[in-house]
Amino acid sequence: NSYLDDLMEILSHGGRLHRRGLINADLDMLRDSLVLIGRMVDKLEQTVLQLVVVDLDELKFSQSPS
């Protein structure tokens, strides 16, 4: 499941909420969207952490005397 899939799912939820004018009645759908956003943030955080770790490893490697 990619970021894009999650984002499209969130957008389609939002579109349905808006189109039907039942924003208050569809709190379950809204909650599901928030859960998806939370999952995306977690994935993004993991990705950033992985990138930072890789960069630090490369930095150490490039600074070590050969």
Which tens digits make up the pLDDT trace of 20-48? Answer: 555 555 677 778 888 888 899 889 898 88
3-state SS class at 49: helix
Determine the residue type at 53.
V
Location of structure tokens 């600074």: 63
Averaged over 52-62, what is the pLDDT?
77
Q: Give the whole-number percent of the chain exceeding pLDDT 90.
A: 0
The answer to whether 21 and 58 are in contact (CB under 8 A) is no
* pTM of the entire predicted model: 0.42
54: number of Cβ within 10 Å: 10
DSSP state of 1: -
